[in-house]
Amino acid sequence: MERVESRGTVTIDRERCKGCELCIPACPPRVLAMSSDVNGMGFRVPELYPGCTGCGACLLVCPDFVFEVFAFDAPVVHEGTS
């Protein structure tokens, strides 16, 4: 079983996102990917996968101030599925 640690996490304001995708390559551990569904404005939005480091790069590059970033006191472990 794969085991991934996240040292941080984010909240994403889905309805404010304009789907510009600038956060995707900005994330150093590459744990953001665009959704397949869309928000109320018709934009695809970023989704978070395990492995966030809480670095805040997504927050820095988002033109619509969609992200809040949190750094965990202790790493959170995600048990993977096969």
Site for other proteins in 56-75 (CB under 8 A): 56-57, 59-61, 63-74
40 lines the binding site for other proteins (CB under 8 A)? no
44 lines the binding site for other proteins (CB under 8 A)? no
30 lines the binding site for other proteins (CB under 8 A)? yes
Q: How far apart are CA 22 and CA 66, in angstroms?
A: 12
Choosing from 8, 37, 38, 40, the residue that interacts with other proteins (CB under 8 A) is 8
39 lines the binding site for other proteins (CB under 8 A)? no
What 8-state DSSP symbol labels residue 63?
A: T
Cβ atoms of residues 50 and 31 within 8 Å: yes
